[in-house]
Homo-oligomer: A and B are copies of this chain.
């Protein structure tokens, strides 16, 4: 899992029924200082995230399928939550 920032979305013509009608979000991976790293994923949104939101990305297929409750979902990354706070140096 990593922290990302929603940058936009992709409109695509896709045949697979699971992906039809799903919003494909562009999410930039952030480093521990909150800066974009240059890496991104296209993630399925499970939490109604919007552009600019800081989000929690699950970047593993089987875990992503659990979040989406679809054992046959053709996905690798999903927005699993909205990040409210990143707390460094304290637990």
Contact = CB atoms under 8 A, between A and B. Distances in A.
Interface of A: 1-3, 6-16, 18-19, 23-26, 28, 31-32, 38, 40-43, 46-47, 49-51, 56, 58-64, 66-67, 72-77, 80-91
Contacts of A67: 16, 74
B73 A66 contact: yes
A7 B88 contact: yes
Contact of A8 (B9, B31, B76, B87): B87
Contacts of A40: 2, 31-32
B38 A90 contact: no
The 8 closest A-B pairs by CB, nearest first: A14-B81, A1-B42, A60-B76, A8-B88, A63-B74, A12-B81, A66-B74, A11-B85
